[in-house]
Amino acid sequence: MKKVTIEGGDEIRLCANLKFRIVSFRFLLQCLEDLDRSLRKLNSRLFVIRGQPADALPKLFKEWGTTNLTFEEDPEPFGRVRDLNIMAMCKELGISVVSKASHTLYKLEHIIEKNGGNPPLTYHQFQTIIANIGPPPKPEETVTGSLLEGSHTPVSDDHDIKYGVPTLEELGFETDKLKPAVWCGGESEALARLERHLERKAWVASFGHPKMTPQSLLASQTGLSPYLRFGCLSTRLFYYELVELYKKIKKAMPPLSLHGQLLWREFFYCAATKNPNFDKMNGNPICVQIPWDENAQALAKWANGQTGFPWIDAIMTQLREEGWIHHLARHAVACFLTRGDLWISWEEGMKVFDELLLDADWSVNAGMWMWLSCSSFFQQFFHCYCPIRFGRKADPNGDYIRKYLPVLKNFPTKYIHEPWLAPEAEQRAAKCIIGKDFSLPMVNHSIVSKINIERMKQVYRQLNKYRGPSSGVLSTIPRGTLSGAYGLSNNKDVQFDTQKKIQDDKQQEQMKNKENEIVVNGYQTGEFYNYGFPQKNRGVSKEDVENQYDKYRDSTYRKIDGHPGHFQSDYHQMENHTNRFENMTDNQLICARDRLSPRACVILEEGTINNNEYNKNRDLEDKIFGNSNVFPEGDKSDFEMRNYGGEEGSYRYKDERPT
C-alpha cells in the first residue's frame, strides 16, 4: 500500500471545540459507552480510534483492507475542510466514499442554492425558503441486526485496550472533586427524554415561548439540546415526532413555529457553513465591526461568576458546574458582557460558552453571540437586560441565587438581588459581608448601560450613513469616559461606592421635583445657549446656565408628552462623561424621548435646527416607536420593531427572537 499525505494534515481540526472541560468530555464518553452497549446487543462493537485522521486512517485502511468509507457530513467550515482532505486521501487510495447530511434537517447547500447561491441572513427569509422546499427527509429506520449481517470486522480479545472508550483519567482529567452528572450522555437517555418531552401536551399545544420561572432555570429531565449537539438524538426524528403529536392533538398539519428551536439551529448552521470566520469579528462579512474594549480582568470576573451581581454570578456558576443554562439566562449574561455593561467583544463570551456549554454548537453559539451583542441578525440595541430587574422577575424569591451562591443564602429576599444595599447589621446576620465574602458590583449598571447604548447608537448611525461597516468610521464615546462608571480606580477592576450610589439616587429623585426642572421651548424660539440651555426663556438666563453647568453637564433632554418642542432636563450623575457636551456648538442638542430608554436619539448638526427638520424627525419617531405597528416605507431593516409584553419602550423585530 502506497503512502499518502494530506496537505496541512497535522493541523486538521477534529471538532469545533478543542478546549472541552471535564463535564463535556464526560458527556461525550457516556455517549460513546452507550453506543457501544447498543452495538453489543447487535453482536458488534464500537471502535474508538486514537490519533489524527491523517495518520490513523491510512494505517487502518491497510490493516482492514478497507474498500468503502461512509460518514456523516459535517456542516461546519472546519469540518468541511477535514472531510475534503479525507475524501482526497481515499480517492488516491482507491477507496469509495459515501457521505450523508444528517446532522441538520436539510442539506444546507440546497437551501443556499434556493437563495441564489448565498445563505439567507434573516430568519424570515430563511422561513420562506424552507416553506417552499417543503418538509425535510424523514429519519432512517432504527438499526437492527439484519442490517449488520455480512459485517466481518474482527473483534479481538484486547479490543477494549486497543479500541475501547477511554476514561477521563486516560485523557488527563482529575476526577476526585467531580460532582455527579446532571446530564447523562447517550442515545438511550436522549430517547427517554424525547418521550417525556412529547408527553408535555400542554407545551406542544401552546407553541409559544415558555415563561421563565425559577424552576425553568434548572436543568430539566425533558431537555434535549446537548443530545442534538452530540448527535445522540436525530433532528429529523425530533421533527417528525412533533409533527405526529401535533396532528394527533390538533387534527391538522403543524405550523413552522412548532419547530422553532430546530429551525433556528438550522438557520445559524446555514449562515455559517461557508463562512470560516463566522466565529470572529474580523474577516466576517456579516458582522458589524464594533470597537469593543479589551479588559482581561473584567472578562475573568464575568467568566468565573465574580461580577458582584448575584443574578449574573449564579448563572455563570451553574454554567461552570453543570454545563447548561436556560436560554434567557444566556441572554442575560451575554448582554451583560457585551453591549449592556462590560463592552467586551462577543468573541470572548463565545469562547467561554464554547468551552463550558454541553450544547454549544459552533454555528449556533457564534450566531447567538452576534445576535445578542447586536453585531449581526439583530439591531435592537436600546433594549438592555438589567442584571437586577431581570433577575428579580425570573427569580423573585432568590431561590435560584441561593442554590448556586450559597454564600448569599441567609440574605432576606429584599436584598438577595442587591446585597450591597443591605445594612451592615443585615450583612453580619447573613454571615456575608459584601466586599469581603461576596464581591461588590464591578460596574454601576444604570450608568454604563446608558453609555453603551450611546456607543451602539453611534455605531449604527455611522453604519447607516456609510452603508458598509469599517473600524475607521465606527466611532464611539472615548474610552476614558467610562472611568466614572467603573468605581474608584482607573483599571475598572474595583467596585463602585455603594453609599455614593445611594446619595446619587436620592439626588436624582430630588431632580424630579418641578422646582428643579428647567423647561425650554428651544425648537419654537431657536434661542439656545451652550450645552442645550436657552439663553432666555422660562426665566433661565445666561448666568443661570453658567452657574449650573457643572450640575447639569451630564443631563439629557427629553420631550414632554403633549408639548411639541418642549424639553425638560433629566439629571444623571455620570462622572467624567462630559465629552459629548463640551464639544457641542451653540446650536447642538441631544434629545432623548425617554429617561431610561433613549430611543431614536437625534443629534442635530449646527444649522439644521428648524421646525421642518424637527417635525420630520418627530414624525419618523412616532412611526417607529408609536404603539401601533406602523413602520416607515422603504428600507425597514432598522425599524421593523413592535411593542411587546405590554412594557413601554420594549420592542423586538417582527421575526421571533430565537430560543
The strand order across the sheet containing 556-559 reads: 519-520, 567-570, 556-559, 590-591, 602-603
What's the CA gap between 479 and 575, in Å, rounded? 13
DSSP 548: H
Residue type, 197: H
Q: Do the annotations mark residue 586 as ligand-binding?
A: no
261 is in an annotated binding site: yes
Q: Please state the separation of Cα 311 from the chain's center in Å.
A: 16
Residue 221 annotated as binding? no
Q: Which amino acid is at 549?
A: Y
User: 362-372 vs 346-356: helix axis angle to the nearest 10?
Assistant: 140
533 is in an annotated binding site: no
What single-letter amino acid sits at 17?
A: N
Distances (CA, A) of 458 to 476, 580, 585: 6, 12, 18
Q: Is 97 helix (H, G, I), strand (E, B) or coil?
A: strand
Was 360 annotated as part of a binding site? yes
Residue keyed to cell 415561548:
209
What is the CB-side half-sphere exposure of residue 371 using CA atoms within 13 A?
24
Work out the burial of residue 352: count CB atoms within 10 Å of its CB; fewer than 13 is exposed, 13-18 middle, 19 or more buried.
buried
| 265 annotated to bind ligand | yes
CA gap 337, 630 in Å, rounded:
33
268 is in an annotated binding site: yes
Phi-psi domain of 337 (left: phi exceeds 0; alpha: psi -120 through 50; beta: other):
alpha
Q: Give the Cβ contact number of residue 355 at 10 Å.
A: 18
Count other Cβ atoms within 10 Å, centred on residue 66: 15
Dist. CA 540–CA 317, nearest whole Å: 53
- Residue 267, annotated as binding a ligand: yes
Task: Tell me: is residue 358 an annotated ligand-binding position.
Answer: no
Residue list for the binding site for FAD: 261-268, 359-361
Residue list for the binding site: 261-268, 359-361
